[in-house]
Amino acid sequence: MNDEELPVIDGSLTRESHLILQQFTSHNQISSFTLAIIKFILLLENSCKEDVRVVPTSVRSSIEGIESALYQDELQSLTLTDSEISLLESAAFQFINHTMAGVVSLRSLFPPLDKSAEDLLHALLPITKLVQLNLWEDSAMKSEIQNLLKSEIFKKIKRAVDVWTEDRLAMLDEHVAYSQCQTDPVLPQTSSLADLLQEVCVICTPKPAYQEMFHKVNVNYYKTICLRVDHMLAHKVKELVHEMNYYQKRYQSYQVNIRDSSRISLKLFLAIKNIYSVLKKSIPDREVFKLRMVHFDQWFEESLIFWLETFKSECNMRMEKALEIDKDFVPVTSQVKHSNSSVDVLSSFAKITTEWRDIGVQDADHLLIGAIKISNVICDGTRLYADKIASILECNGYYDGNSTEFDINQQVCITVNNIEYIRRYLSQLAEMLNYEDISRSLTLKYDDDAVGRQSFQMLNRLISTASEDIVLKERNLLQKIVDQMEPNLNKHIKIFSSAASLATTCDQEAILPLIEYLDKNLKTFHLQLCSGSYPKVLSTVWQTLVYRLDMSILYGCKPEYYSCIANHIKTLQTYFAQLGLESDPPLNSINYEKVLEKLARHALPTSELLLQYFTSITENMSIPLGHCGQVALRVGYLTSSPSTISLAVQLLTVCDLPLPVKSTSQLNMVRLQLRLLPMSFCQSQMFQTAPADVDENTNTAEFDLTHHFTDVPKDVISTKGVVLHIMVWQFHKLGWDTFLGEVFINVCGTKEIHRSIDQLPVIMLATKMPIETEQKQSTVFEILFQRRQWDKEAKQHCDIRLKIMKYAKNYTQLTGPDKKRDFLASVAQYVETCFSYL
């Protein structure tokens, strides 16, 4: 018999039956509450019968009747008898079991659908109403009914989760089995499992409305499905991660395999991370340990290294591709631009850092390793990009131009902007990779501040080193560009340099062509370079210009030439300062100061140079290791007139005189030659002593004579550089005398003679042999030597010093008097020596 043909029971009575029932209950003193209970028990019993059909609303109406009777004031003191409770419990259990049997046939509760939840709640509504009756307050029946209801719902939810998960995992295996892909099955399996986890993540995200529906039956739906999903999927995930680790170890020598497998394993990791975060939200904190995925990050420790290597390979691959198709430009301002390749490279860097943050490694050591790897990938990437973008400029023939006028174009500026653009990204790396958090994590893990501090310094050192390398590459590129400007710079420098050498006065307009050329190209740099690169260009151009100016200086010119060149260089310095070059280095660089110092020295008059030359000789008063004896004397002055003095020199002894090299004869007689230098200050006064005998035992010659240099300007005693020059000679009656050394005494600071020169202290100075190489290395002597073609005073000084150097050189080559000498040659040499000071 169909359900439609069964007799229907709705719990209602006809009017006549209702009147009879009222009379019966009134006659037998039966309360309306007892009548409602009996009516409800009969209705529950009939609901469990197969031969009748009870209207669902009738149960709810009967429950409402009981509640109405129960809360009437006159019935508050009534309670159920034991027989009534027994009948009610028996009928209630029969009704619940009968109703739950029908719930099994309802649609699945997973994935959660609003319709399935509504059907379930509608079917369970009579039971929920039954549980909510106040009849069970003092009875264990209510808790038993509630536990039975929750247990049945839990079973149905878990069964639904198991069936759905098993079906999906089976479909995953079937898909891999039927696919004809040549790759290892672990790759498509892992990828499909990651997709499945993403789907489950969406399913397990709580919906407040759905959760509220199950809360009505005291069931935490999402906690139940999350625990069950974790139980069903954790084993499969761990199994595939283990197989993926084995695959990557097996193919670790093949970059393509590692790259593809790392992408898939990272996809799986991120999917597990997402689903774990969703599952954890639906489970109380004290029960999170029940999740089998709680330590999922430990499963991927081996894969972490391969992910980092993949980051590097993908970064380089994307960089190569960006450079191959680099045609378009990205405008920063109306003039400043950089190419798309730099944007693509930085986007690849950003992707790497974003993926690393998404991985969310928790272990401090793994965080440090990952930060080092990622930092190295990005730092090496910036270096590689700078090299490649600079080489592209060279491959395009930018440095091969043969044009007479080299000018800066847009391509150069864009290349420099690209390098500067990626270099600036490095300054953001410490914040993006959370260096400070890593340092704190290491400090907490090892309980040592030094560990965290050293790790932080090491990470920052990676960035600073890379940034310095990029700056160096950028400067090298700029230097190459400026080197192409050198022919034009030399041409313009030669114009004003030649003009200064020929003109008697300095022509300030001679430098204008150079400034116009610089202004034209530096303006291009200023308009088209980013703000960080323009000062570097100015510095590079300025340093190159100073170097070229230094190389273009002509030597041996008159002092006016060097003063004019110095004025031109100062004009250029002012020009670069106005362009924004900082006053501290590089504007006032060491090279610039050296060039000005050189020009200032060359611009000095010859008289001043001679004073500097003799000052440098007299400053070193120490006895040299190879000295040739010592001269003892006194020096003082007497005032002759308000403008002149008489310089008195008392010669006492010459001691410790050595024999000439290779000479076996004794040193019989020596003579001294005195002169005030420079000659322009002292009117070429010279004095020569008579030969004095040398004691054979002590090699000492006694002179004990005083000579006065008269009419000497009084200024010499306050002028640093005026010297008394004493030359020591071995006297030969026949042949030329042998030069034994020289002494320079600074006249500046000489004491005045008040009573007698004998009251002045004795001065003992070691005689020295001038060395030709040391003299020629002297900057002042070199300047004087270069002036000898047009300056008589400089020529005379240089000729005398060169002859004295020659005598000193011959001193070490003499063989002694046993060798026969040409008498005429000896006389000629002697005469030349005597007249060299005339």
Express each pLDDT in 177-211 by its tens digit.
Answer: 555 556 788 888 888 899 999 998 988 888 887 78
* 3-state per-residue secondary structure call for 376-418: HHHHHHHHHHHHHHHHHHHHCCHHHCCCCCCCCCHHHHHHHHH
The highest-confidence range among 406-410, 607-611, 767-771, by mean pLDDT, is 607-611
Predicted local distance difference test score (pLDDT) of residue 304: 82
Strand (E) or helix (H) holding 741: strand 738-746
Mean pLDDT confidence for 498-521? 78
Contact indicator for 412, 481 with CB cutoff of 8 Å: yes
DSSP per residue, 290-350? G-TTTTGGGGGHHHHHHHHHHHHHHHHHHHHHHHHT---EEESSSS-EEEHHHHHHHHHHH
Q: Which of 122-126, 363-367, 456-460, 492-496 has the lowest mean pLDDT?
A: 122-126
Q: Which amino acid does the sequence have at 188?
A: P
* pLDDT at 818 (0 to 100): 37
Contact 630, 654 (CB under 8 A): yes
What are the distances in angstroms from CA 471 to CA 148, 264, 526?
Answer: 76, 38, 18
Sheet holding 701-713, edge to edge: 701-713, 644-655, 630-639, 763-766
**Range with the poorest average pLDDT among 31-45, 418-432, 445-459:** 31-45
pLDDT at 815: 36
Mean pLDDT of the region 460-468: 92
| Lowest mean pLDDT segment, chosen from 347-351, 545-549, 616-620, 735-739 | 616-620
pLDDT of 652 higher than 90: yes
Residue 811 pLDDT: 64
Share of the chain above pLDDT 90, in %: 14
| Residues pairing with 766 in the sheet | 630
At residue 660, does pLDDT exceed 60? no
pLDDT band at 75 (very low <50, low <70, confident <90, very high): very low
Structure tokens at 420: 């500067």
**Separation between Cα atoms, residue 77 and residue 698, nearest integer Å:** 150
Contact 798, 781 (CB under 8 A): yes
pLDDT for 49: 67
- Tens of pLDDT, residues 678-720: 988 777 678 899 999 888 888 889 998 999 998 899 888 888 9
**Nearest CA-CA partner of 647 in 723, 576, 700, 733:** 723
d(CA 462, CA 754): 76
Q: How much is the pLDDT for 362?
A: 83
Q: Which residues pair with 630 in a beta bridge?
A: 655, 766
Listed in order, strand segments (DSSP E) in 86-178 are none
pTM, to two decimals: 0.64
Handedness of CA 400, 405, 411, 414 (dihedral sign): positive
Q: What is the pLDDT of residue 821?
A: 42
Least-confidence region, from 341-350, 385-394, 619-628: 619-628
More confident residue, 811 or 185: 185
Chain-centroid distance, C-alpha 395: 29
DSSP per residue, 647-676: EEEEEEEEESPPPPTT--S---EEEEEEEE
Do the bridges between strand 53-54 and strand 8-9 make them parallel or antiparallel, or are there none, so unpaired? parallel
Please give the mean pLDDT across all residues of the chain. 79
Query: What's the sign of the alpha-carbon dihedral 445, 451, 456, 460?
Result: negative
| Main-chain dihedrals φ then ψ at residue 828, nearest 5 degrees | -65, -40
**Rounded to 5, what percent of the chain is helix, strand, coil?**
65, 10, 25
Q: Is the pLDDT of residue 212 over 70?
A: yes
Q: What values do phi and psi take at 637, rounded to 5?
A: -140, 155
Mean per-residue pLDDT, 349-378: 86
E strand map for 557-643: 630-639
Task: Say if residues 549 and 569 touch (Cβ distance below 8 Å).
Answer: yes
User: Greater confidence, 583 or 758?
Assistant: 758
Q: Select from 522, 421, 534, 541 the least CA-distant residue to 479.
A: 541
- pLDDT at residue number 633: 94
Q: Which of 284, 241, 278, 286 is nearest to 262 (CA)?
A: 241
